[in-house]
Structure 1
Amino acid sequence: MKKYILISVFALISYSGFSQQLKKTDDKLDMAVLSLDLEGYEMASIEMKQELNLTQEQYAQVEQLNKQRYEKLKEVHLAERPEEIQKKINDTTDTALSTILSEDQLQSYFELEGRRKTQFMTDVVE
């Protein structure tokens, strides 16, 4: 019986040690991102351009909007209630994006952000 317990413990240790070696990484992507000298708003704008298939005109507007948003978010850290201010900034950004993006692009943006909004700002006001 001791023999089976010892073999089981050894197998468990071997399995856990082996599983730690198997990690899926995207080191090439990490190195590519780190090699670029971009600000946060620029990276967000580039990602939005690729994921949402923005036109050049939309991209210029989104880039300016992201720059303003990131500048405001930097100031939030000094505030007393940063969560409330961040929510206001996000709501303002969402409203501005709803005038720039099509409905499909806006839905894709919310999915990209990890927020699934079923209502737009105009639906909430009504």
Structure 2
Amino acid sequence: MKKIILLLFAVSLSTLSQAQRMKVTDEPLDTHVLAMNLDGPAMATKELLKELNLDEQQYRQVQLLNDKRYQQMEEADILYKDNAIQRSKAIYAINQEIDKAVTLMLKPEQMRLYLKLENRQSDRYASESDK
């Protein structure tokens, strides 16, 4: 019994030390973006540029859309400051609208990466069923 407990203890220590050595996959990108001291829209645009390999035209369009997204989100925060549910609904609608516009300009491979990046695979299918 003591051998089993000691073995379990050793395995748990080994697992714990391994977890401490693991690195986050996009750590270099986070470090780069934080070093640039960007605001919300610029940071989001810079991340998409790097992750999706946007061309110049796509970059400009995404930049405008992200500016619009953050402006509308700030307006929703002010308008619905006392109603968290309505604010959440407004922000969800804003994200849906902007995401649709972004996805229309992406190539298929960029679209796959975008959906993975945004973790919105299910939102895409939900919005398609709304049509």
| 1:89 and 2:94 aligned | yes
SS in structure 2 at match of 1:22: helix
Deviations, residues 93-122 of structure 1 (Å, cap 9, x unaligned): 0233245x145244442232112224876x
**TM-score, normalised on structure 2?**
0.70
Query: Tell me, which stretches of 5 or more residues in structure 2 are unaligned?
Result: none
**TM-score, normalised on structure 1?**
0.72
SS in structure 2 at match of 1:37: coil
Query: Tell me, which stretches of 5 or more residues in structure 1 are unaligned?
Result: none
How many Å separate the matches in 1 of 2:12 and 2:76? Answer: 43
Q: Return the letter of the residue paired with 1:21.
A: S
Aligned length: 119
Report the CA distance shift for 1:19/1:67 in structure 2 as closer, same or farther (over 3 A): same
Percentage of pairs with the same residue: 27
| 1:16 and 2:12 aligned | yes
SS in structure 1 at match of 2:54: coil
Q: Which residue of 2 aligns with 1:113?
A: 118
How many Å separate the matches in 2 of 1:112 and 1:106? Answer: 10
How many Å separate the matches in 2 of 1:87 and 1:110? Answer: 16
Q: Return the letter of the residue paired with 1:25.
A: K
Please say which structure displays the higher CA radius of gyration.
1
Q: Which residue of 2 aligns with 1:41?
A: 41
Alignment root-mean-square deviation, CA:
2.8
Q: Which residue of 1 aligns with 2:68?
A: 68
How many Å separate the matches in 2 of 1:95 and 1:20? Answer: 42
Runs (4+) of structure 1 moved beyond 3 Å?
Answer: 30-34, 74-78, 105-108, 118-121
